Structure 1
C-alpha cells in the first residue's frame, strides 16, 4: 500500500479504484472466445486474470454481461472494468467493530461511517478499519470474500478517515461490477454538507477546475482551471446557512476526484473549516485576537476534524434495477459546531 495514498482523502474517488478498457471488435474479426481475444488485446494481463474478471461480472458486450466462452462478433462493443492498484486485502483480519448499517440486502450494504475511521488497511493503519469491520460482518454471514469471489471486499469507493457519512459496499462480485461502473460513469447521486470559512456572496454556484497533485506538496492536490493538467472535476454548491464568518454549504459532486470538495472550495476562497491539510485549521476570517480567537479555538475542539459529511448517496440497485437513495443526519460534532456559530452571531447581532 502506498503510504501517501493513505494520507489523502478520496471524496468518492472511484477513478483510483477502477479503470475501464473499451474496444470495438474489427469488421474482419473471426469468431473467437472473448477471453482469448482480450488476452491478445491487453498487454501484461494473464488470461487467468481476465477469466476471473469475466466471472466476477466485470465484462460486458453490447451492455450485457457475458461468460468467457462468448464468441466475439464484428462490431461488438466490449467494456472491461478492472481494479487499479487495489489495497492489500489479503491480510485483513476480521474485527468485531460496531457498524452503523443504514441498509443491507443480499447485494449491497450501506454504512454511515463515523469519524476517525480509515476505510481500508494501509501503512500505519492495519487494524481498526472499515474493511476489518466488514470482514467480521461478512464472516458471520458466511460471505466468501476472496478476491476472485468478491474483489477487495466489495469496496467500490472511499471516503476519508475524518470524513463522516454514507459509503456503499457490494456483497457479490456482480454487484461490485455494477456499482463500479456507476461510479466510473459519474451517475451516482452524492451530496455532502460542509462548513467553510467565509461569508459566500452568491447563493449557489459551480466550480469547474481540473485537479492534480500539488507540484510541491505531494500529499495534497491543486486546482488547474485552464485544464492544462489533471483530471476534469465539477462541484455544484449551494448555501444552506450563512453564519457571518463561516457558511454551511451543500456540495453535489458531478465527478469524484481526490480531495475534490476541499480543493474546489479553497479555490473559490472558502476553505473547509478545520481542514488542516489545506490551512483551514487556523482563523481565516475575523480577528486573531481576544474572545473571538478563544471562541474559534473552542470550535476547533468541538469539531476536531475537517467539517465534511457525506449526507446523501443514491444509485441504481444492482439487482432490482430501481433507483435507491439514502440520507444520513449530520454527526454530533458538526451539529454542535453549527449551533455554536448560530449562538455566537445571535449574541453579536
Structure 2
C-alpha cells in the first residue's frame, strides 16, 4: 500500500485544484526485481482492476522517466513513475453537454480555453454536469462523431484551476499531446502567471514562498502549509507587487509548482490572504479599521467580486507537436477589475500613502 506522501487523492471538495492530474509519483527502489509495470502497479492500487490499469497504460496515462510505456514494460530500479488519475478506479462518467465555451485558440492538438468563475473543471461529487470536461466532450464529439464515450477527453485535462478562479486552461485533443503537455507540467517548464488581489501591503516589491502544501490535518477539505516539509508536497510561488492600494495589494504570482490551492494557501501563510477568499480567511476585514464606512466599503467590494480575487492570466508552453513556444494572455475579468478600480478611488479619496 502506498503512503500518503506517494499517493495524493484529488480534492474532496468541488473546488478544483491547480494541480495537474497526477495521482501517484515515485521512484522504484534499488532492490526491486524486474517485473511488468502492470503487475507492479496493480499491487499498489486500491480497488482497481488489471484490465482497467492496462487500458490506462495503453492510453499513455503512465509515464516512466517521462516516456510512455506499454503494459509489458519491465520496471528497473531507479525508474521514475508518474501515474495519472485516468488510471484510477473511481472515474466519474463524462456526459457530453452543449455548453457555452470561450475558446481562445485551437489546432489539431490543443485547445486554449478561458474558464469563467463558477465553472467546475471536471465532473465529481456534487458536480456531474455543467463542467469544462462535459462541454469539451460535446464539442469534440461534433468534430469527431466516431469518438466513443470512453475516448472522450478526461485525459485532455493536464492541469486545473479552482472553480472560482478565472483564466486560461490548455486541453489536449489527442493522447500524444496529452502526454507531452503532462511531461512539461511534471518538469515545471510551463509558464503560469496569476493576478491576485490580496490583503495588506508588502515590505518588499517581490519575493518567493517555499512551503510544502498538503491536506489540512483536521479539516480534510482544505489545504495547509508545512514549512518543514514533513508532510505534503514541495510548493514554490514567486510573487511581485504590481500596485499598492493601501490595505490591499495587486500582485502577480508565478508558479514553479502546481499544488492544490497553492497560491491561496501560500498567501495565507505569509499573512496576505486573497481578497474575499472565504476558505482561507480573506472574506473579512484583515487590514484596516472596523469603522462603519470602511466596513460598508469592503462589503460593497465583496458584493462586486463574490469570490476569491484570483485570475490565471498567462499560460506558456512548448507546442506538443510543432515544438514552437506558445504564449497566451487573458484579460482581468470585470468583477476583479471593478474591485481594483474601487480600491484605487478609495485610496485616492483618502490620500493614503501607497508608495
Q: Which TM class, normalised by the smaller chain length?
A: 0.7 to 0.9
Change (3 A) 1:137 1:246: same
Q: Distance in 1 between matches of 2:340 and 2:207?
A: 22
Q: 5+ residue gaps in structure 1?
A: 30-35
Q: Which deviates further from its counterpart, 78-87 or 279-288?
A: 78-87
Q: Distance in 2 between matches of 1:28 and 1:271?
A: 48
CA drift of 1:140 comes to: 1.0
Q: Which residue of 2 aligns with 1:32?
A: none
Whether the 8 Å contact between 1:189 and 1:312 is mirrored in structure 2 is: yes
Asked if 1:270 is matched to 2:277, the reply is no
- 5 Å matches for 1:136-151? 136-142=138-144, 144=147, 146-147=149-150, 149=151
CA drift of 1:38 comes to: 1.9
Q: Distance in 2 between matches of 1:139 and 1:187?
A: 31
Q: Distance in 1 between matches of 2:345 and 2:193?
A: 26
Q: Which residue of 2 aligns with 1:53?
A: 56
Q: Which residue of 2 aligns with 1:37?
A: 36
CA drift of 1:290 comes to: 2.1
Change (3 A) 1:343 1:155: same
CA drift of 1:150 comes to: 5.2
Q: Distance in 2 between matches of 1:114 and 1:231?
A: 28
Which of 177, 188, 199 is equivalent to 1:197? 199
- 5 Å matches for 1:79-94? 79=81, 81-83=83-85, 85=88, 88-90=91-93, 92-94=94-96
Q: Which residue of 2 aligns with 1:33?
A: none
Whether the 8 Å contact between 2:199 and 2:275 is mirrored in structure 1 is: yes
Which of 16, 24, 45 is equivalent to 1:19? 24
Q: Which residue of 1 aligns with 2:240?
A: 238
Q: CA RMSD in A?
A: 2.9
- 5 Å matches for 1:316-327? 316-327=318-329
Q: Which residue of 2 aligns with 1:156?
A: 158
CA drift of 1:39 comes to: 3.2
DSSP 3-state at the match of 2:337 = helix
Whether the 8 Å contact between 2:96 and 2:134 is mirrored in structure 1 is: yes
Q: Which residue of 2 aligns with 1:126?
A: 128
Q: Distance in 2 between matches of 1:51 and 1:25?
A: 25
Deviation track 1:52-111 (CA, whole Å, cap 9, x = no partner) reads 3343234566765455677x6989957554426477342x22222111111111111110
Q: Distance in 2 between matches of 1:28 and 1:199?
A: 55
Q: 5+ residue gaps in structure 2?
A: 1-8
Change (3 A) 1:63 1:134: closer
Change (3 A) 1:21 1:58: farther
Q: TM-score, normalised by structure 2?
A: 0.85
CA drift of 1:171 comes to: 0.9
Deviation track 1:16-60 (CA, whole Å, cap 9, x = no partner) reads 54434555999997xxxxxx7223433437554454334323456
Q: Which residue of 2 aligns with 1:345?
A: 347
Q: Which residue of 1 aligns with 2:258?
A: 256
DSSP 3-state at the match of 2:279 = helix
CA drift of 1:246 comes to: 0.3
